[in-house]
Amino acid sequence: MEPLHLVQDEYLCIVPWKNMFPTITAGFTTKNRGYSQEPFSTLNLGLHVNDSKDHVIQNRGRLAGLLHFPLEDWVCSEQVHDHHIKKVTKADRGKGVMKYEEGIPCTDGVYTSEANILLTSVYADCVPLYFIEPSRGLIGLAHAGWKGTVREIASRMVRCWVEEEGVQAENIHVCIGPSILNCCYVVDDYVINEVKKVLDDQDVLPFIEISPGQYSLNLAKLNQQILLKAGVQEENIIMSSRCTSCEDQLFFSHRRDRGKTGRMMSFIGYKED
């Protein structure tokens, strides 16, 4: 069953988590009901795609109002398709909200144990990963394009929590959000050779060769396999079946839109009681 449902025109909510973790605000935005103009119409939340900065800030303000999380409580990162993870605190609130270059530098994974912080990350096909360890109040986000995926940012987050936060992997819950799926994601031998490096002999291949040197790749499925090998329980992983390329009425897609497009945003945070 699809875990992300449209609750507003502007964003989808992770419904199973809303029921399990009622204090958590977590979801993924659409491209609709914002202020940006073509080719970023309309709810572009990325500051780094040559859209009007004023429009992006207006869009972020709109989302902040809907989520009841003011912009000064957001944390944004400079995403570089790598696997660096940073623990953030209240001292980091506001970073990257108004200026992309002031975000957490060179970071594709963020987490916190503190309330009143909204972790954010932006996407236009890559895989959004959401993490919760409820007994310790840990929440996290990771941005997993193919480079971040094969560099195992998913398992690095798990290992970081186990080694540095003292939690057990089997207590971590993960949601794999909307991304470009194998129906629309064709890659070459170079990418597939990198993918093979993180697979074991017994793994089900997350790709199919569709023509010589061309493969349809399911990055979401690959991230699921990496998480399972990291010790996350299968029943604690929920995965979206929404394809950002297929659902052109809901999502921006870097590949479908040929590189000139806006960005959706993943977000997670919780309020103090």
CATH code (residue 100): 3.60.140.10
pLDDT of residue 273: 63
Closest by CA position to 216, among listed 206, 224, 226? 206
Classify residue 198: in a domain, yes or no: no
pLDDT of residue 150: 98
Classify residue 202: in a domain, yes or no: no
Classify residue 204: in a domain, yes or no: no
Cα(93)–Cα(140) distance, rounded to whole angstroms? 15
**Which strands, in side-by-side order, build the sheet including 207-211?**
186-188, 214-217, 207-211
| DSSP count for the chain of H helices, then E strands | 6, 15
Provide the b/e sequence for 208-230 (b: ≥16 CB within 10 Å): eeeeeeebbbbbbbbbbbbbbbb
Classify residue 99: in a domain, yes or no: yes
Classify residue 185: in a domain, yes or no: no
pLDDT of residue 202: 83
Show the beta-strand stretches assigned E in 67-153. 74-75, 85-87, 109-112, 117-123, 127-133, 138-144
Q: What is the pTM of this model?
A: 0.97
pLDDT of residue 1: 87
Task: Give me the domain span that covers residue 260.
Answer: 4-180+220-270
In this structure, the dihedral spanned by the alpha carbons of residues 145, 189, 229 and 159, taken in order and rounded to 10 degrees, is -40
Classify residue 104: in a domain, yes or no: yes
Classify residue 200: in a domain, yes or no: no
**pLDDT tens, the chain, 273 aa long:** 899 999 999 999 999 999 899 999 999 999 999 999 999 999 999 999 999 999 999 999 999 999 999 999 999 999 999 999 999 999 999 999 999 999 999 999 999 999 999 999 999 999 999 999 999 999 999 999 999 999 999 999 999 999 999 999 999 999 999 999 999 999 999 999 999 999 998 889 999 999 999 999 999 999 999 999 999 999 999 999 999 999 999 999 999 999 999 999 999 999 886
Number of CB atoms found within 10 A of residue 53's CB: 12
pLDDT of residue 203: 87
Q: Identify residue 85 by its one-letter amino acid code.
A: I
- Per the structure, the count of domains in the chain is 1
Classify residue 194: in a domain, yes or no: no
φ/ψ of 147, rounded to 5, equals -70, -45
